[in-house]
Amino acid sequence: MTSKLFLPALAAACLFTLSTLAQGPTPLLTQPAEKHLATLQSDAPRKAKADACRELAVIGGPDAVPVLVGLLANPELHHMARYALETMPAPAVTEALRAQLGQLKGRLLVGVIGSLAVRKDVQAVELIAKLLWDSDHEVVRAAARALGRLGTPAALEALMNGIASAAPEDFMDFVEGIGRAVEALIAQGRTEQALALFDHYQDTDLPHHVRSSALRGALLARGAEGVPLLREVLRSPDYILFAAAVQTSFDMPGTPVTRVLAEALPSLATPDHQVVVAGALGHRGDKAALPALTAAAGKGPKPVQLAALKALAMVGAEESVPTFLQFVNDGDREIAQAAREGLASQPGRAADDAVLKLLASNSTPIQMAGLELVGRRRMAGSVPTLLAAARTGEPAVRVAALRQIGELGSDAEIAPVLDLLLAAPDAGAIAAGEQALIALAGRSGDTASVGSKVAAALVKAQPSAKAALLNVLAAIGGPGALKAVRAAFEDSDGQVRGAAVRALSSWKTADAAPALLELATKAGNETDRRLALGGYLTLAGNTDLPAGQRLEMCRNASSLVQRTEDKNLLLGALGQIPSPEALTMAAPYLDDTSTRTEAGAAVVAIADRLVRGEISASAAKALIEPLGKVAATVPNAELARRARNIADQARKKAGQ
């Protein structure tokens, strides 16, 4: 009993509290309405007046209406005044806004039109309708949208009258307004009034776009009962009305609509009509369309076949797989491509099985189509079939199969791919095997194990295969791979030795640096020395390495660089090291016209980082001369400007 008495009391207390809060000011409010009205009628700044409008939107009464209406002609405060007025329930607000329709122009008028629509002022329909013929297109568009929101029979009739003479840039706003008005009338249970108007406009000699809008309204207003009208218009010789009906069908749900479109498809007047309806059926995604689309895809004009194949792909039913399979290698490239697109996007096991059938074909073009689809469908389960194709297929098939194995395989495929590479009969298969191994190794969780397998395969590989395996080892990296590559320097075959040098020169980690420096210093031919020095300097520019290690590498290479390309690599590496010694090493290259710009960039980069950090006065002073030389000699004006700016900062730190 106590609880039964307590609950009503608690509810009453809550209601009282809510009522009190509603009557009092919100946390935003700081002053009574009279103060805000005084602010609006004063010379207060714009922000103060905008804040006053914002608060009056909450607490303003009838006495605020004339003051706020007076601000509607003020471009700076118009929006805030409307914001305040829109929330006020007083009928005087609506009357005052309505009166402004004949006084304001341009965007100010557009705003008031929108406010009347927000307030659902159906008495403004006649006045707003007159604005559909205004010379200002923004006003016309706003009036069309507002009439749609007001949604009365008179508003709809005004829109139907107005669309006949609407400018092209205003047309879509009329269409939007008509659509909104139809929705509003249906929601009000006034469908018959809307239908009478639409049916009237269909029977006149008005322009096509008016009749199209009327037809759309008539179809949507009838709902499920609009299906017979849709069937009738699909047979119309008037293409524009036909297209309007098909477009409207997108917004007509249900299988009966699909059936009407599907039944009409084979007997439509022209291929253009059939293409439009096929597209609509695809958009619907309804399996009821499958028989008609399958028939259209099987024969007939090419545009219709293409449209039907694309529609079948959109429906996405496994029943379509045989149709796609039939055309996947059609003599017409576009037809074949559409069928392949359909198979590629088709979900389910049936499509996978169809692709495997393509792989089992004796025709190379069909096998190639299957290999393409294996990749697009990401069919990891097809790897055994891919391995078989890589062993026995034609050259193009072998290469494509190896490529897909690399994309879809796992560690389990590394050994068979190694065997395929070792037995590869031509350069294309060797290159494909190399890339497949690199891809597989990149996804492996145990690259050291992969590297060991690849290194072991070197022993039994022919020179061309050895070269490919060395490239794989370079991509894998690691101590074991590096050891195997260094051992290949002693190979009796020159092709293998060259491949080993190139592999080492592309190494990504610093563990290759000592071997590269040794090669750059002692290699027996100039080509190997250049490759090794380039690889060494590339590592020296790797900012993942400690700055001290990179500086030491630059010292080691400085006596070896002879070519401009190598000098620029050295300067690029030095420019990443914020060290006075790095700047001292880079500065002499300012005297060489072939390296001046790179040297200038390095000096500026080093000095910039040094001057931004903790630097002694003497160290800052040492920066000034080389920076001045950069500013005076480099041809790049922006680089010279930066050098002067940094030199000024260095002078300040040097106390000059």
Q: Output DSSP code: residue 300.
A: S
pLDDT tens, 514-546?
A: 999 999 998 888 899 999 999 999 999 999 999
Question: CB-side exposure of 281: number of CA atoms within 13 Å?
Answer: 33
Give the model's pLDDT for residue 13. Answer: 34
Cα separation, 642 vs 656, whole angstroms: 19
Give the model's pLDDT for residue 19. Answer: 37
Cα separation, 33 vs 63, whole angstroms: 9
Q: Output DSSP code: residue 590.
A: G
Per-residue confidence band for 270, with pLDDT thresholds at 50, 70 and 90:
very high
Contact 277, 295 (CB under 8 A): no
- Choose the weakest-confidence range: 203-207, 374-378, 482-486: 203-207
Give the model's pLDDT for residue 7. Answer: 32
Cα separation, 523 vs 517, whole angstroms: 10
Dihedral angle sign, alpha carbons of residues 197, 202, 207, 208: positive
pLDDT tens, 275-323?
A: 999 999 999 999 999 999 999 999 889 999 999 999 999 999 999 999 9
Would you say residue 4 has pLDDT above 50?
A: no
Q: Output DSSP code: residue 120.
A: T
Cα distances (Å, whole numbers) of residue 186 to 130, 150, 177, 190: 25, 13, 14, 6
pLDDT tens, 387-439?
A: 999 998 799 999 999 999 999 999 999 999 999 999 999 999 999 999 999 99
Q: Which two tokens stand for residue 19?
A: 């009522």
Q: CATH fold of 253-347, please? A: Leucine-rich Repeat Variant (1.25.10)
Name the more confident of 111 and 31: 111
Cα separation, 341 vs 309, whole angstroms: 9
Give the model's pLDDT for residue 21. Answer: 35
Query: What is the rounded average pLDDT for all residues in the chain?
Result: 89
Q: Output DSSP code: residue 270.
A: S
Q: Which two tokens stand for residue 150?
A: 């007001």
Q: Where are the domains of the chain?
A: 253-347, 578-656
Contact 348, 377 (CB under 8 A): no
Cα separation, 210 vs 400, whole angstroms: 57
